[in-house]
Chain A
Amino acid sequence: MSTQAMAKPKMRFLRKREKQLNRSVAGNTFLFVIMAICGVFMVLPLVMIVNNALKPLDELYQFPPKIFVRNPTLENFSDLFTLMNGSWVPFSRYIFNTVIITGGGMLGHVICASLAAYPLAKNRFPGKKLLFDMVVLSMMFSWTVTQIPQYLIISWLHINNTYAALVLPAWSFGMGLYLMKQFMEQLPDSLMESARLDGASEWRIFWQIVMPNVKPAWLTLAIFQFQQMWGNTGSLFLRDEQLKPLQYSLQQITAGGVARAGAAAAVTFIIAAVPITFFLICQSNVLETMTTSGMKE
């Protein structure tokens, strides 16, 4: 503790651990310069979205296009809200659909994938390797060609044109299980063994010991799955307008052509802002685990 307290105030933005180990000033400077240069290029799409959303119509059509806005306005957003109010299906309905599809698809997937990952990572039973290999290999088969058989199966199960057609397949995506399994594998066996000796059931071990210890993993998975589900317009499986998600209706607005360019810029902003907000919430919590959990081993 004493070494941490003595740390130079200039270095406060670095994590405490690093100060104790050998970190050269030259190395730090080098890394910061790299970060700064690359950061400028990486942040470009973000900058553009924000600026476009604030541009009045004449600036949106300015040629050659400029990145930065000169006369920022919120007109685009008010235009968008007017359009939303005039929509045939009440906009709250689209939001509700999105909550079910994105929220349900994400939560269900995190739970299903984590539950299945735990035995695969930590228990021994017949069929384990086969099941796991199947999941990893399935990610390598092109999604484009499986779409049609999948459509046939969804029709055959009579869940076409329901939320289930989007949500249930999402629960069994391959990536989530693989991610969770890899993180759970790192947990020391002693953690589970001692709980077993205390008479805890597997379910309880999963919920009270495994899941809190792999919090960074499921928060990351939640980000991936949220993004995936949020971007889904559902147009392949959903016919009823009342069932379609926000993404669909927003994209319909942008399809309105030149007159709606302003509203479209606002739409692009909203489509990006929602997952970004979710991302920031999850990422800052990934961080929190680091500072609070000292219970490894």
Chain B
Amino acid sequence: MAMTGNAPGNVTVSPEALEIAKKQAKLSYQISRNKASYAMMAPYFILFFFFTVLPVVMSMILSFTDFNMLEWPNFVGWRNYIKLFLEDDIFIKALKNTLIFAVITGPVSYLLCLLFAWIINEFKGVLRAFLTLIFYAPSICGNAYLVWNLILTGDRYGYLNGLLLKLGILNEARLWMQTEKYVLPVLIVVQLWLSLGTGFLSFIAGLQTVDKSMYEAAALDGVKNRWQELWFVTLPAMKPQLMFGAVMQITQSFAVADISINLAGNPSVNYAGATVVTHLLDYGSTRFEMGYASAIATILFLLMVGTNKLVQKLLGRVGE
């Protein structure tokens, strides 16, 4: 418009000039838009860099040293990793336990979260909030281990022993957490009981965001029952939450340690309840061998990353 004002005789603008102007406008629009994007991300990522990226990188570097928190670390190359796999029998046992644990509790917990979130979604009003609380209670109350310690007490006053004795299934009390063969199965049961946590709540929120009109459309398209509706409408619509839940599940299943330490102790009977993270805690917080502990953390990290790749691929098939 300014151009026409400057040169009253020449009203038409050449197409090239118009094209360039368009491109410039688009570019400057892109830049200003991205400027806003970068500005929005800045506070988070600056903090993230200092408090997460740097510590993780430092830990990975430390895994190649003999850092013991007192002396300046010496570079030892792959020695920590070699020791882990070739000399440390307990690590191999812990790794095996962790894998058994993760392979069982991971998928089952995940499905439980989904199932209960989906059932609760059928309720409404205050009842729904309370049902959510009841199922989330083990995660929020903070006394879960106390409850299980009461249940699993090794004398006849433990609730489990008491019940089984009364029913005549046992004829003497069992020392549940001090008997090697019971430790891992019991830990798995407790973990499943605790499983309705982060993933569960995010699924509940995710079910809220599914577009309601899609259900009506699906009903018209011939979706007959709630199971078909779940597979063809609900699950594809909440794929982002499914991905999120899977990552949270992986981080929880592989990093299991608290329940083992609280119920079976660390070290547990003949390391029956040892997991990768209890092993890591043993070296990191008890023996202060941070270099070695960092190597364990790095192995665990690679294990989780690999599993995550696999799971994300599987989840890509939901609703097909």
Contact = CB atoms under 8 A, between A and B. Distances in A.
Contacts of B82: none
B41 A144 contact: no
Interface stretch (B13-21, B102-110, B163-171, B297-305): B297-305
B272 to A, nearest CB: 22
A148 B50 contact: no
Contact of B122 (A18, A49, A137): A18
Task: Give the interface residue-count category, chain B.
Answer: 35 or more
Interface stretch (B89-97, B132-140, B176-184): B132-140
Nearest to A116: B44
A20 B52 CA distance: 49
B202 A220 contact: yes
A141 B301 contact: yes
Interface of B: 33-34, 36-38, 40-41, 43-45, 47-48, 50-56, 58-59, 62, 69, 116, 119, 121-138, 140-144, 146-147, 150, 157, 162, 193, 196, 198, 201-202, 204-206, 208-209, 211-213, 215-216, 219, 223-226, 229, 237-238, 240-241, 243-244, 247-248, 250-251, 254-255, 277, 280-281, 284-285, 290, 293-294, 296-297, 300-301, 304-305, 308
B37 A119 contact: yes
Given A46-B134, A182-B244, A146 B226 contact: no
Task: Give the interface residue-count category, chain A.
Answer: 35 or more
B43 A272 contact: no
Given A115-B41, A186-B240, 18 more contacts: A14-B123, A17-B215, A45-B147, A112-B47, A119-B37, A119-B40, A131-B41, A139-B251, A140-B251, A141-B297, A149-B54, A150-B55, A172-B44, A175-B198, A219-B205, A279-B136, A286-B205, A287-B125
B134 A31 contact: no
Contacts of A69: none
Contacts of A296: 209, 211-212
B122 A145 contact: no
A63 interface: yes
B308 A202 contact: no
B225 A22 contact: yes
Contacts of B198: 175, 224
Given A140-B305, A216-B208, A13 B123 contact: yes
A153 B54 contact: yes
